[in-house]
A and B are shown apart, each in its own frame.
Chain A
Amino acid sequence: MDFGPYLLLASLEGLVTAAVLSLTALGLSLVFGVMRIVNVAHGEFFMLGAVLAWAIATPIAGNPALGFALAMVCSPLVVGAMALLSERLVLRRLKYEPEATIVATIGMLYIIQQLALTFYGPDARAVQAPFDWRIQFPWFGYSGYKLSVVGASITLMLLTWLVLARTRIGLMLRATQYDGETAQAFGIPIDRVYCGVFAVGAMLAAVAAVLIVPIQQAHYLMGLDPLLLSFIVVIIGGLGSLKGTVVAAVVIGMSDGIISVFFSPTLAKILATLLVAMVLVYRPQGLFGKAVR
């Protein structure tokens, strides 16, 4: 294959990675932005979404689209409920103290991972894609499902943006993010905002995971990579900045796809993690964010 088509293929793959990553990172970013806490168990909510998608879709006979649709609805709901529960039982008791919260979410990471291993097992399993079209380019055919993942992601991102920018809920979130105490004084139920945001953040990760399982198999250890990549995206995009998160997700997703075609993926990851550390130290507002204060 010539260089041009090769690059096109790599870009398409990158676009799919970016689409899934944007959703996952958006969840992390939302939680960090509004609640000022880092959820290390975020990747496990992603994994849980994928594993549940398999558990829900597989027993459904007949058209694969049916099982997939059911998984798309139920899996995020279950994950959201679990996030809600852990928020009530653990995070709220810690008063969202940042360092204690990180340690607690690390604990949650281990718990979720082990439960998945116990009940789901060590195997990697795929979910059948809801449809099986191929789009024929002059040089190669490309999965229509993968492109629809990009479309779904863009739709969801727009929806999130609309909610944040145009609705009362969005206004409450922005007020809480800006100044929690004042927001509370103005009668915003901070407590409910927090648990809602935490649940929605986890659900975004679960949706991303359901979208990915027809492409990439569900496995109990699959949460670590999305967690690290989301960290990278959120940090480089600027902590808590929605726009920055999307831009960074596209940049990282695309470059991850393209770089891993040409370079060793391990080397690419090493460079990416070092870059993130440096950004956090020398430019904490992110590469695309403006300086705060």
Chain B
Amino acid sequence: MTPADTTKRVLMLHAGVIAALFLAQFVLPEYHHGVLARVMVLAAYATGYTLLFGYTGLLSLGHAMFFAAGLYGAGLTVYHLGWSPPAGFGAGIAAGLVLSVMVGFVALRTTGVAFMIVTMMLAQAVYLASLYFGEWTRGDEGIVLTQAMRTFEIAGATIDLSLPDERFNAALILYACSLLICLAVVRAPLGRVMVAIRENEDRTRMLGYDTFQAKLMALALSGTLSAAAGASYALLFGYAGSTFASIHYSIYPLLWVLLGGAATTLGPLIGTLAITYMIDVTSGFTSAYLLLVGVMLVLLVLWSPNGLLGALRDRKLAWLP
């Protein structure tokens, strides 16, 4: 297979996935329609996460801080300052970018286990801050964005993000953009350098690459995509609370990505979809969904560190990005 063939196949696969998601809204019953919208927002978060974890090999245990930066960046500006949803979305992204660059300058001085602990501690500080400034964030209780706050006009059309169809398609646009950005990055020179850093950072440096700069770019990109997902979550589901900044929301993307396949573009979507439905199904007869999360983490680490798509790529489809 020539490189041009591969490119064509890859593009067709990704376009196909996006088209399938688009068509799903016409056939899915109302309940699953809503679930899928939520899955797409969370999959966008996981896609951002895998750029850092899967491709660059940096395991962050604190990505909830970036998700929360977007969530509160959008939620607080819309709720307290009366900004329109697009402006709030921009504020969320900006907050994520600033935070991830700051975190990068500090945390990227460490590697391995220390990096995991530092990101976890910084995220914990952000979580505690969201409780400390309870006057604005209302802590665990959270702030609720009303329908009016989530409605805006663009090019003469009124868009109400609290309506199911608008919400679904906004989530789809977010996910499609995240997926395509991820695909573009991993196929670009930067993506090649990220993978090289994951495989052997010292060697990469000796090929003339400023690996700190490359890691900082990967982290900023990953954090900003996570923040975009967080901002969308606040605007589409009308809620921003401290739970989303807690350690659990740093672990979930790790779990989704591990299940779907760490260094794959589509793995995050598959993992998020699978786990969401697994929790959904099991919640019918038990509330012990954390048990499921725990068991899955242990089993994946033990038996299948490459995840579903990773295994598929190893066995059959070597061209998968």
- Partner-B contacts on A (CB < 8 A): 38, 90, 93-94, 98-100, 102-104, 106-115, 117-118, 224, 228, 231, 235, 264, 266-267, 269-270, 273-274, 276-278, 280-282, 284
Contacts and interface: CB of A to CB of B under 8 A. Distances in A.
Contact of A93 (B61, B106, B113, B302): B302
Contacts of B157: none
A269 B254 CA distance: 25
What is the interface residue range for chain B against chain A?
Answer: 35 or more
B122 interface: yes
A103 B291 contact: no
B177 interface: no
Interface stretch (B123-131, B186-194, B201-209, B216-224): B123-131
A273 B298 contact: no
Contact of A107 (B124, B132, B297): B297
B298 A90 contact: yes
A117 to B, nearest CB: 7
Contacts of A270: 125, 128-129, 132
25 contacts: A38-B116, A98-B112, A98-B113, A99-B113, A99-B116, A102-B113, A104-B302, A107-B293, A108-B294, A111-B291, A117-B290, A118-B291, A224-B247, A228-B124, A266-B128, A266-B131, A267-B132, A274-B121, A277-B107, A277-B118, A280-B117, A281-B106, A281-B109, A281-B114, A284-B114
B96 to A, nearest CB: 19
A273 B121 contact: yes
A117 B288 CA distance: 8
Contacts of A284: 110, 114
B185 interface: no
A109 B294 contact: yes
A56 to B, nearest CB: 24
Residue picked from B114, B122, B296, B301, most chain A C-beta under 10 Å: B301
Contacts of A224: 247
A267 B133 CA distance: 10
Nearest to B246: A224
Nearest to B125: A273
Interface of B: 59, 61, 106-107, 109-110, 112-114, 116-118, 121-122, 124-125, 128-129, 131-132, 247, 251, 254, 258, 288, 290-291, 293-298, 301-302, 305
Contacts of A102: 59, 61, 113, 116
A110 B125 contact: no
Given A277-B121, A280-B117, A269 B297 contact: no
Nearest to B305: A100
Contact of A114 (B251, B288, B305): B288
Given A38-B116, A106-B61, A264-B132, 10 more contacts: A103-B59, A103-B301, A104-B301, A110-B294, A113-B290, A114-B291, A118-B288, A231-B121, A277-B121, A281-B107
A273 B129 CA distance: 11
A131 B297 CA distance: 43
Contacts of B131: 266
Nearest to A111: B294
Nearest to A107: B297
Contacts of A231: 117, 121
B302 A90 contact: yes
Contacts of A114: 288, 290-291, 294
B291 A106 contact: no
Contacts of B301: 94, 100, 103-104, 107
Nearest to B62: A277
Contacts of A276: 121
Contacts of B132: 264, 266-267, 270
B254 A103 contact: yes
Contacts of B112: 98-99
A284 B117 CA distance: 12
B179 to A, nearest CB: 25
Contacts of A228: 124
A108 B290 contact: no
A277 B122 contact: yes
Given A98-B112, A266-B131, A103 B297 contact: yes
Contacts of A267: 132
A228 to B, nearest CB: 7
Nearest to B105: A281
Most chain-A CB neighbours within 10 Å: which of B114, B291, B298? B298
Contacts of B122: 273-274, 277
B121 A104 contact: no
B284 to A, nearest CB: 16
Contacts of A104: 297-298, 301-302
B124 A273 contact: yes
A94 B304 CA distance: 12
